[in-house]
Amino acid sequence: MLEGVKKAFAGLVDRIKTTTLSESDIKKYVEDFKLQLIASDVAVEVAEKLAMEVVERLRMLKVPRFSEHKEAVMQVLEESISSVILEVDPDSSFVNLIVSNYSLGKPTVVLFVGPNGGGKTTSVVKVSNYLKSKGLNSIIACSDTYRAGAVEQLKGLAERVGVRVVSHKYGGDPAAVALDAIEAAKAAKISTVLIDTAGRTEVDKNLLEEMRKIKRVSNPDVVIYVGDALAGNVVVEQVRRFNEYVGIDYVILAKLDADTKGGSAISVSYMTGKPILFVGTGQGLDDLEPLNKKRLINMVLGRAS
């Protein structure tokens, strides 16, 4: 996981700790570091910001031999990464919202959007499973009425975590499915409605229009974009476009376990202003984890977390 980005940081640490550095050495090493980050799919703007932060902060250390100040150097890197990550704690934000809505007698509606194959359906069921572990029940609306097999796939996964799926027939109105699920949740006092939608990309204008309709009709409390970590910079662009069209609150970055670069995890929140709520770390339904700043920093700096 994240090997590319890890390597860039480890390489920089190695170089600056073994020599007495002049100002121009630092600049050169940091320039190489920046290029390595970009090669690992870190967005150019984020790589530049990280490089600038590192140079500025190293300069402020004012020590000739960083080898004698390893902890201070690590601190510099930590603060630099920290400056590009927006943090969110799913328990104090997402889960708390559900709990407080529930105490007011209303279900929390969560709409999931994103491209086909990004990991959306799996993530919906993972979130349902996560909520279950917090003592919160949920119901899932299969608002993908386009793809043959979508209902079967969702039902198969949901069955494994014991969650009910509301579906209509193939070709039906996705917004109507969402409304049915919301009504069912109200009737059965279920705390959360998770709406799975058909995969669409930012260039599918008709599908995006339809997405707006689903949003207007279901009036979600939270909109989550699910993207594939392996898509690197493409995720950043997609989050931006989805945000323009439908408005999103959080990102789930699926398949981080298979991402050998790590650029999207580093870049997405800085570039879009939308924090990563969870990351997907495998195909199992328990493989969903919050990605707090500390943990991401430890992963990138190769420390045990």
Site for ligand GDP contains 282 (CB under 6 A): yes
Of the candidate residues 4, 90, 107, 118, the single one contacting ligand GDP (CB under 6 A): 118
Q: Which residues pair with 110 in a beta bridge?
A: 194, 222
Separation between Cα atoms, residue 219 and residue 197, nearest integer Å = 14
Give the pair of three-digit tokens for residue 182. Answer: 């919301």
Rounded to the nearest whole angstrom, what is the least distance from the CB of residue 33 to ligand GDP in the complex?
28
Site for ligand GDP contains 287 (CB under 6 A): yes
Single out the residue of 198, 276, 195, 199 nearest to residue 236, CA to CA: 276
DSSP state of 95: I
Separation between Cα atoms, residue 6 and residue 4, nearest integer Å = 5
- What angle separates helix 3-18 from helix 70-82, to the nearest 10 degrees? 140
Cβ(190)–Cβ(138) under 8 Å? Answer: yes
Using CB under 6 A, which of the segments 85-93, 209-217, 278-286, 292-300 binds ligand GDP?
278-286
- Would you say 32 or 257 has its CB closer to ligand GDP? 257
Using CB under 6 A, which of the segments 75-83, 177-185, 212-220, 280-288 binds ligand GDP?
280-288
Query: One symbol per residue from 222 to 241: x for binding ligand GDP (CB under 6 A), - otherwise; what is it?
Result: --------------------
Q: Cβ-closest residue to ligand GDP?
A: 280
- Would you say 107 or 199 has its CB closer to ligand GDP? 199
Matching residue, tokens 């309709």: 213
Using CB under 6 A, which of the segments 16-24, 166-174, 212-220, 279-287 binds ligand GDP?
279-287
Site for ligand GDP contains 129 (CB under 6 A): no
Cβ(231)–Cβ(114) under 8 Å? Answer: no
- Would you say 176 or 258 has its CB closer to ligand GDP? 258
Task: Give CA 137 to chain center in angstroms.
Answer: 23
Among positions 247-266, residues that touch ligand GDP (CB under 6 A) are 254-255, 257-258
Site for ligand GDP contains 143 (CB under 6 A): no
Rounded to the nearest whole angstrom, what is the least distance from the CB of residue 54 to ligand GDP in the complex?
30
Cβ(291)–Cβ(299) under 8 Å? Answer: no
Q: What 3-state DSSP class applies to 288?
A: strand
Rounded to the nearest whole angstrom, what is the least distance from the CB of residue 265 to ligand GDP in the complex?
12
Strands 276-280 vs 250-254: parallel, antiparallel or unpaired: parallel
Site for ligand GDP contains 107 (CB under 6 A): no
Single out the residue of 52, 31, 39 nearest to residue 6, CA to CA: 39
- Would you say 9 or 278 has its CB closer to ligand GDP? 278
- What angle separates helix 263-272 from helix 293-300, to the nearest 10 degrees? 140
Binding site for ligand GDP (CB under 6 A): 114, 116-122, 199, 254-255, 257-258, 280-283, 287
